[in-house]
Structure 1
Amino acid sequence: MLDLAVFGSLFLTLFVIMDPPGITPIFLALTSGRPAKMQRRMAWQAAAVAFGVIAVFGVCGRQILAYLHISTPALMIAGGLLLLLIALDLLTGKSEAPTQTKDVNVALVPLGMPLLAGPGAIVSVILAVQHADGVTGQVSVWAAIAAIHVVLWLVMRFSLVIIRVIKDGGVVLVTRLAGMMLSALAVQQIINGVTQVVNGA
């Protein structure tokens, strides 16, 4: 009941796009200063939100985008702009203010969406579900989606060990590095969206 080729292809695609190792410093930066229990809760919340968003778009993604008249490039550019705003906060240290770190559930935005369930992952899942043949193909696609989210949860869950090792000074350094990485990712996503618009014109 599992097509390993379909499963492996989508799993690797989502692994590259969602980048579990790369999300670690961003998760550490966004959740620093919170109690360990809350950080653990935010790890599974982020994975659950991402899975929920991906699942909705996997089931009826094309219909949603068509109904709202949203093109894939527009989705990519919007996601890139949102990520860029978050990256600037990390780079300038604004995310370290108490009102930012204590009251906002970053597991929902930006971790769950658009960092994990971003335009690239959404489009990949929509295409995979559309091209999956029969019950075996569909089961393989959804198994791959579930597996990558388990991996994401494990990476974020055990990244909390890193916080205890690097202490506050290390968290500040990781925050700046995460902001730089995230800004580059955001700009690349915007470039990809603009390129698709130009090529499609």
Structure 2
Amino acid sequence: MSDVLDPRLFGSVFITLFVIMDPPGTVPIFLGLTSAMTRKQRNRAARQAILVAFGVIVSFAIFGQQLLNYLHISLAALQASGGLLLLVIAMELLTGKMEEPQPSGNSKVNVALVPLGTPLLAGPGAIVATMVFVQQSDGTAADWVAIALGVLAVHICLYLSMRFANVIHRVLKDSGTILVTRIAGLLLAAIAVQLIADAVTAFVQAA
């Protein structure tokens, strides 16, 4: 079995990414970002967000270090930019701008892509963790399979948590969803500030 799959590495990848990407914790933020959507639109947004997150994680796992080196971008800079983007979205959630109807002809940004798919799900933490697992692996087929299955399993958990967010929405109704949106904005702001603080710490330590 170890020639096909390294169960210890699979467990490490799954647990680490599960804690970082936090499928249960994405439910209130997902409801907040999709509060103005219908059930069908929300399901489509969940699928798109998972595909985007999975694509970003896999891309950085394979080409991430080479891309950052080529562009002369540090991991701290990537973390800080993700934090700033999340902070802007958090302010919109807290002020209710996400719920305002858009003028006709104005193409609204697809929240399933940004900020849900990235940098919320496929954020700096998940990207760096995956890159570290790839760099520390022995390069055998068993290691690659373990990492791939670990990433896939976490994304399945993420999809299930967002897929059943419709049930929560039916229970909360519109007024409850607005309350959850405000709470999600506060949580998202805290996540953003923590990302920026970690990036600043990394900058100072590297100086």
Matches within 5 A, 1:1-201: 1-99=4-102, 103-133=108-138, 134-201=140-207
Q: Which runs of 5+ in 1 are unaligned?
A: none
TM-score by length of 1: 0.97
Partner SS for 2:102: helix
Q: What does the per-residue CA deviation read over 1:91-146, in whole Å, with 9 as the maximum and x for residues that have no partner? A: 1111111129x833111000000000001111111111111121101110011011
Aligned-pair identity (%): 56
Q: Tell me, which stretches of 5 or more residues in structure 2 are unaligned?
A: none
Q: Give the SS at the match of 2:36.
A: coil
Q: CA RMSD in A?
A: 1.2
Shift of 1:66: 0.5
Query: What secondary structure, in the 3-state scheme, does the structure 2 residue paired with 1:99 have?
Result: coil
Q: Answer 1 or 2: which has greater helix percent.
A: 1
Residue-pair matches, total: 200
**Letter matched to residue 170 of structure 1:** G
TM-score under structure 2 length normalisation = 0.94
Q: Deviations over 1:34-64 (max 9, x none)?
A: 1211111111110010000111101110001
Provide the C-alpha distance between the structure 1 equivalents of 2:121 and 2:80, rounded to a whole number of angstroms.
16
| Residue identity in the other structure for 2:201 | T
Structure 1 stretches of 4+ with a deviation exceeding 6 A read none
